[in-house]
Amino acid sequence: MKLFKQGLGLLVMISLFGMLLSCYYDKEDQLYPAVSTVSCDTSSVTYTAPIKTFLDSRCAISGCHQTAQQSPDLSSFATASAAASTIYGAASNANHASRFTWSACEKKQLQLWCANPLN
């Protein structure tokens, strides 16, 4: 009987400890962030910033749009600006792999740059 009471006491303590550990407080602003707290800067879109970063990380990667690989070459300003008229269409094309990696802001910036490809 004494062993049963000790076991029951231990079980109750473990259960209470488990319940205490399972309690936590969620922070609403972390679970449900505002839809858009970051503004999309379209005032000065140039190849240097932010287009080169986009192209280098999504397009001008190994096996894709680099020198002597898939056309057009998007690894430099000269070659990317020469292909500017087609870049936005390809990035927006549902059959093109890059469609998965562009945010709405990035697409807007890319569209603006393609219309006026500045370095």
Instruction: Render each residue's pLDDT in the chain as its tens digit; 119 residues.
Output: 777 777 788 888 888 777 766 666 667 667 776 665 568 999 999 999 999 998 998 888 888 899 889 899 999 999 999 999 999 888 888 788 766 678 889 989 999 999 999 99
- Helix 84-92 to helix 104-115 angle (10° resolution) is 160
C-alpha pair distances (Å), 11 with each of 20, 21, 22: 14, 15, 16
Q: How many CB atoms lie within 10 A of CB 117?
A: 19
- Residue 46 near residue 119, CB atoms below 8 Å: yes
Instruction: Say which amino acid occupies 30.
Output: Q
